[in-house]
Amino acid sequence: MKTSTETQGHLSAIATCAIREFRMIATSYSILLVMIGGIFVYGLLYNYMYAPNLIREAPVTVVDKSNTPLSRAYARLLDASPQVAVYSHAPDMPAAKTKMKTDRTVGIVFIPEDFESRVGRGEQSVFLAFGNTSAFLDFAALEEAAAGAMRELDGRVRPDMAVFLPPPALYAMSQTPAAEVVGTALYNPTEGYGSYLIPAVLIIIIFQTLLMVTGMIAGRERYEGTLLFHARNGLGFGRMADAVAGKTFAYCTLYAVFALFLVGLLPGLFSIPHIGSGWNTVKPFLPSLLATCFFGLTGSLFFADSESPILMITFFSVGLIFLSGISYPLELMPWYWRAFHFVIPAPPAVLAFIKLNSMDATMADIRTEFLTLWLQCAFYFVTACLVLRYNIRRAMGRRLTARMGRQ
C-alpha cells in the first residue's frame, strides 16, 4: 500500500512538472519562435535549398589549344550535355582561371594541341581543371559530362579511323569496345547532394532546437527564481528525478511530433531517398531524444538566463556534422575528436539514422551507436538530477542572502 502511494506521488509530481513545462513553452514567444523557426522554417529552408539535388547547366570555360574540327565537335557535344553549359572559350589557362576567380564559371575543360592524335591512340585527350570550391559536385557533373561527350565522339570517330587501318589493326579495333567507366551509387541513387546531406541535417535540427528549448527554460527559471518550485517536496535525488522526468516528458512529447514532420513528412514531400525499414528508423529516436534532454538539462549549469543557450549552442553546433562521421571519416579523426563523438548525443544519433534510413542497415549494424545513446541516457540523467539540485541550492542561497541584505 505504501509502495502504491509512493508511486502515485511520483507520477503526480512528474505530471505536475510536465504540465508546468508545457505552460512555460506556450507562454514564451522566444521559445515558440525557436521551435517553430528551427523545426518548420529551418527544415523547409534546407529542403528547398537542395531541392534540385543534381547539378544542371554548370557554366564552364573551354580552352581549346587544338582548334581543329574534332576539338570543336567535342566542345559542342559537351555543351549539349545536361550537366554543363559552355559559358565561354578562353585562349589559355590564365584567362580561364580569371573567369573562374570572378565566379563566372565553376570549371575549365582543357583540350591539348595534340587532341586528334591522342584520340587516335586512345589516350587521355581532355584535362579538367576545377578550382571553384563552392560545391564539390560541380566537378562530378563536369567529369560526367566530359566523359559522356568523349564516348560520343569516340563512337563517331572510330568508323572514320577504320578507313586508314590495315586489316589486322582493323580487326583488333573492332574487338575492342570503347573505354567506359560504370559507377553504381549504392546508397545515393540520385547521386545528389541533398540526398546525402539532408537526412543528417534534419537530425541536427532536432538536436539543436531541443537543446535550445531546454536551456532557455532552465535559464529562465534561474533568472526569475522560479527554480525553487522543484524544491517544494525536498531536495532528495528521487524528487529531482521526478522533476527531470516531468521536464523530459514534455520535451519528448513535442519533439516526437516534430520528428514525425522532419523525418517522416519532409523527405516524402521533397523526394529524399528512403530505403530503410520504417520501424527500425524510429527505434533510435527514443534514446536520442532522452539523451538530448538530459544533456541539455545538464548543460543548464552554465545557463544563467534564457538568451545564453542560443549563443552557446549555435556556436558549438557547427561541428556536429563533422563529429558524426558523415562529412569526414571517424577513422581519420584524432583520438580526441573521436572521443567527442561518444560524448555528445547528436553524432551517434545522426550516424544511426543515416545507416538505418539511407543504407538499409539493421539494428545489429548500429549496435555501437544504439548502445552509446542508452549509456548517454543513463549518465546524463544522473548528472541532470545533480545539476538541478545544485542550481536549486544556489537559488536558495541567493534568496537567503537577499533577505539578510534587506534586513
Q: Please, are residues 144 and 83 in contact by the beta-carbon 8 Å criterion?
A: yes
Selected residue with higher pLDDT from 92 and 314: 92
What mean pLDDT do residues 84-100 have?
82
Give me the percent of the chain exceeding a pLDDT of 90: 15
CA-CA distance, 173 to 178, in Å (whole number)? 9
DSSP 53-82: -S--SEEEEEEESS-SHHHHHHHHHHHHSS
Residues 157-161, mean pLDDT to the nearest whole number:
52
Query: In which band, very low, low, confident or very high, does the pLDDT at 173 lie, cut at 50, 70 and 90?
Result: very low
pLDDT tens profile 109-123: 888 888 777 766 666
List the 58-64 sheet strands across, edge first. 84-89, 58-64, 107-111, 127-129
Task: For residue 299, give every residue at least 6 positions away whose Cβ sits within 8 Å of its Cβ, in sequence order, or none.
Answer: 211, 214, 215, 309
Whether residue 289 is predicted with pLDDT greater than 90 in this model: the reply is: yes
pLDDT of residue 385: 94
Residues 176-194: what's their mean pLDDT?
A: 52
Mean of pLDDT values over 168-192: 49
Q: What residue type is 379 in one-letter code?
A: F
Domain made up of 58-175: CATH architecture: 3-Layer(aba) Sandwich (3.40)
What the block records as the C-alpha cell of 177 is 569496345
Span 171-186, mean pLDDT? 46
List pLDDT tens digits, range 235-286: 889 889 999 999 999 999 999 888 888 877 777 776 666 666 667 778 888 9
Which letter does DSSP use for residue 107 in this model?
A: E
CA distance 346 to 343: 9
Quick one: pLDDT band at residue 219, thresholds 50, 70, 90? confident
Q: What is the pLDDT of residues 291-347, one digit of tens each?
A: 999 999 998 888 777 777 777 777 776 677 777 777 777 777 888 888 888 899 988
- Virtual CA dihedral for 230, 38, 358, 147, nearest 10 degrees? -160
pLDDT number for residue 121: 62
pLDDT score of 77: 82
Pairing of strands 107-111, 127-129: antiparallel
In the predicted structure, residue 73 carries a pLDDT above the cut 60: yes
What burial letters (b/e) apply to 294-324, b meaning 16+ CB within 10 Å?
bbbbbbbbebeebeebbebbeeebeebbebb
Mean of pLDDT over the chain: 77
Q: Is the pLDDT of residue 46 over 80?
A: no
Tens digits of residue pLDDT in 352-361:
888 887 777 7
Identify the pLDDT of residue 178: 47
| DSSP class per residue in 122-137 | T----EEE---TT-TH
Nearest of 195, 231, 306 to residue 13 by alpha carbon = 231
- Three-state DSSP at 306 gives coil
User: For residue 170, what pLDDT is reported?
Assistant: 42
Domain boundaries along the sequence of the chain: 2-51+192-406, 58-175
According to DSSP, the residues that pair with 129 across neighbouring strands are 108
Ramachandran area for residue 132 (φ above 0: left; ψ -120 to 50: alpha; else beta): beta
16-29, pLDDT tens digit by residue? 999 999 998 888 88
Q: What sign has the CA pseudo-torsion 40, 205, 360, 191?
A: positive
Supply the pTM of this predicted model.
Answer: 0.72
| Statement: residue 182 has pLDDT above 60 | no
- Output the pLDDT for position 172: 46
Residue 193 has pLDDT above 70, yes or no: no
Q: How far apart are CA 157 and CA 70, in angstroms?
A: 9
Lowest mean pLDDT among 175-189, 290-304, 378-392: 175-189
